[in-house]
Structure 1
Amino acid sequence: MAWSRTPFEGPQTECLQKLAIKLATNGPHKTLPTPRLIQLQHAGVFIIKTTSAVLVWEHLYYPQLYLPLKALEDPALSSEPGSEIHDPNTKARIAQVLTLTVASRTIPNVLSFSANLSGSATSLSNLVRIPFDAIDTWYEESTPIYVNPKDPFKRVDVLLSTRPIKVRIGGQVVASTTTSMHLYETGLPARYYMPLSAIDGTVLRKSDTRTKCPYKGEAEYYSVEVGGEAWKDVVWFYRSPILECAKIEGGFLLSCRFGHSESADDAIGLCCFYNEKVEIELDGEVLETPVTHMSNANPNAKPPAARNKSITTTGANTIRRVTPTHQDNSTITILANMQFNRHLFLAALAGFL
């Protein structure tokens, strides 16, 4: 799923000072120079171009792009020095807060590290941290960076599986299928994406929640209601996933059934349940509940009453179940390996048939 922003992404100077002191004292978790051309576009102007950027892990989850100080020497960019940040023990200056200006638009809370950092913080010397969200568009080469920089040590694989899978919530089977896409992402639990037709549509409730992931795209959500109790945002899907994860787009499995849908919601992507909040049975074996920041110690226990808030339960928003008319596993295998987005996929499908 989409990563939440680090608390240091906000405009609070105090948080910025804490980050600078933490990194200068303990060093980042790791750093990695990147030879890719990093470009920043702001206010319609390319203000920075460099092949000397450094990926810096301020925390374990994903990196930030730090830029060399000399990259700020751009005629379209002006820099105004602000407060200095000092080591609380040695009183040595470790960083300075800058405000950048381009085309009369300011970019505050830019952190410029000193040139003489030592120890585990040496790799940050003369590097500049610009808040990712403060820039209109970041580019790797000529490709926009979506949400946040990707972790080069992370891999995402999407594999077709015909192992039977069941999902239970509150002790009730709410989904069952023998055809699914298994998504394996480094450091995270396996995720099991299944057609909407595999889910009991009477338990689904539309949600307004949206999140973004740099590897998959923008996710939309459903909540689930079982026995009068609600599990909020426990199902998600990607209507138009990023190309590298195109196999979780609904067309790869739904369209290959050669049937016509009764519901416009067939156009959604394959649906996935939070392993941490439900019980999943794969190939006859109940899987152990993974422990992540989304964990629920007892996935089949009734959720607290607060979960019932802000969940649409009107009949008009209940999702109808789609009954497939035909399934051909050989066709599924062919389609699942086609690396097209939705429009190219549909064109290819028409030619294939």
Structure 2
Amino acid sequence: MSLTLGPNRPLSSTAPATVNYELHGPAHRLFFDPFPRRIRAFLGGEPVVDSVRAMLLHESNLMVVLYVPREDVLARLTPTEHSTHCPFKGDASYWDVTAGGRTAANAAWGYPDPRPEAAWLEGYVAFYWDAMDAWFDEDEETGGHPRDPYTRIDVRRTSRPVTVSAHGEVIAQTRRALVLSEGHLPNRFYVPREDVPAELLEVSATHSYCPYKGQASYLHVAGVPDGAWYYPQPCDGVGLIRDHLAFDGDGLEVRVSGEPVETGMPPRS
């Protein structure tokens, strides 16, 4: 599970009710934690970041953010007039990032004079993940934000009956589904692709990336655009979901043992 993202997480603004302790301090919590491996970023084919001293900022209700020491930034940073204010961290300055003959505008930020309670941010720089061409965790390229080490994914086989309907018509039934539990997100039920009539599926050009599961491809389902997604080459640890489909979209409903379940479609690009 994530420490910060989602309701009732240990460092979210809303404390869990099922604990025998109290956390004394601000409701909005910050936790600066070492990233355990080498991290690199590239722009225009040239290195922008190369660090074994990166840190992860866990912040209540927000996704984890990677920061690196300014000395580990290899590209040219040009100050801009853009700035933002965070009541918990202070005033952020921004920089254009130039490497490989290209410039990414306002692609990096940091807190030159952070608030006293976040003084450890001084000297660190963060980057918009998608402003760089490529990121590497050690020697493996990653297509999205860094993994939160406190987020866990479990995949389990289930014999409970899973039914998928489109506009009220049943399009798939199975007792061979997989249930995927991921952090604060609702359980997602993955149906074997062979249990869905092929004539109801149409290949989509849409893709998305999850640092925990891999590159997702999409399908139009029974007239519902991008109503299903799957992982052709899932990450280590979730290989069971290969050749299985998850569903979400207007007009689609997933029921488990006759009860509707909450779905959730990953961000698409």
Question: 1:83 is aligned with what amino acid?
Answer: E
Question: 1:78 is aligned with what amino acid?
Answer: R
C-alpha RMSD of matched pairs (Å): 3.2
Check whether the contact 2:180–2:189 (CA below 8 A) recurs between aligned residues.
yes
Q: TM-score, normalised by structure 1?
A: 0.58
1:61 CA displacement = 5.5
Q: Deviations over 1:189-245 (max 9, x none)?
A: 2122222221234433443322222222222222333xxxx4322222222222332
1:45 and 2:49 matched: no
Distance (Å, rounded) in 2 between the aligned partners of 1:84 and 1:287? 50
* SS of residue in 2 equivalent to 1:247: helix
* SS of residue in 2 equivalent to 1:52: coil
Check whether the contact 1:53–1:68 (CA below 8 A) recurs between aligned residues.
yes
Distance (Å, rounded) in 2 between the aligned partners of 1:52 and 1:181? 38
Give the corresponding residue for 1:208. Answer: 205
Give the corresponding residue for 1:232. Answer: 225
* SS of residue in 2 equivalent to 1:162: coil
Distance (Å, rounded) in 1 between the aligned partners of 2:263 and 2:48? 42
Check whether the contact 2:39–2:138 (CA below 8 A) recurs between aligned residues.
yes
Which residue of the other structure, out of 241, 247, 254, is the alignment partner of 1:280?
254
Check whether the contact 2:188–2:264 (CA below 8 A) recurs between aligned residues.
no
Residues 1:28 and 1:50: Cα distance change in structure 2 (over 3 Å): farther
* SS of residue in 1 equivalent to 2:194: helix
Question: 2:235 is aligned with what amino acid?
Answer: I
Give the corresponding residue for 2:169. Answer: 172
Which residue of the other structure, out of 234, 249, 254, is the alignment partner of 1:241?
234
Question: Greater share of strand residues, 1 or 2?
Answer: 2
Gaps of 5+ in 1: 1-25, 251-269, 295-353
Which residue of the other structure, out of 78, 81, 95, is the alignment partner of 1:80?
78
1:114 CA displacement = 3.7
Residues 1:88 and 1:38: Cα distance change in structure 2 (over 3 Å): closer
Question: 2:35 is aligned with what amino acid?
Answer: T
Distance (Å, rounded) in 1 between the aligned partners of 2:54 and 2:91? 20
* SS of residue in 2 equivalent to 1:233: strand
Q: TM-score, normalised by structure 2?
A: 0.73
Residues 1:80 and 1:246: Cα distance change in structure 2 (over 3 Å): same
Distance (Å, rounded) in 2 between the aligned partners of 1:120 and 1:161? 47
Check whether the contact 1:62–1:150 (CA below 8 A) recurs between aligned residues.
no
Distance (Å, rounded) in 1 between the aligned partners of 2:255 and 2:202? 23
Alignment of 1:1-353 (within 5 A): 30-57=31-58, 60=61, 62-72=63-73, 74=74, 77-83=75-81, 85=83, 94-225=91-222, 230-250=223-243, 270-274=244-248, 278-282=252-256, 285-290=257-262
Q: Identity across aligned pairs (percent)?
A: 26
Check whether the contact 2:107–2:131 (CA below 8 A) recurs between aligned residues.
no
Residues 1:237 and 1:125: Cα distance change in structure 2 (over 3 Å): same
* SS of residue in 2 equivalent to 1:133: helix
Q: Deviations over 1:31-67 (max 9, x none)?
A: 4232322222333333432222122357745322111
Distance (Å, rounded) in 2 between the aligned partners of 1:153 and 1:210? 25
Distance (Å, rounded) in 1 between the aligned partners of 2:254 and 2:185? 16
> Between Structure 1 and Structure 2, whose CA radius of gyration is higher?
1
Residues 1:143 and 1:213: Cα distance change in structure 2 (over 3 Å): same
Question: 2:240 is aligned with what amino acid?
Answer: K
1:163 CA displacement = 2.8
Gaps of 5+ in 2: 1-26
Distance (Å, rounded) in 2 between the aligned partners of 1:200 and 1:86? 51
Distance (Å, rounded) in 2 between the aligned partners of 1:291 and 1:203? 20
Kindly tell me the number of residue pairs found equivalent between the two proteins: 238
Give the corresponding residue for 2:14. Answer: none
1:119 CA displacement = 4.5
1:276 CA displacement = 8.6
Distance (Å, rounded) in 1 between the aligned partners of 2:143 and 2:38? 16
Residues 1:81 and 1:272: Cα distance change in structure 2 (over 3 Å): closer
Q: Deviations over 1:137-183 (max 9, x none)?
A: 22222222222211212111122223332222333221111212221
Question: 2:262 is aligned with what amino acid?
Answer: P
Check whether the contact 1:28–1:56 (CA below 8 A) recurs between aligned residues.
no
Question: 2:113 is aligned with what amino acid?
Answer: N
Question: 1:116 is aligned with what amino acid?
Answer: D
Check whether the contact 2:134–2:141 (CA below 8 A) recurs between aligned residues.
yes
Distance (Å, rounded) in 2 between the aligned partners of 1:213 and 1:88? 27
* SS of residue in 1 equivalent to 2:238: helix
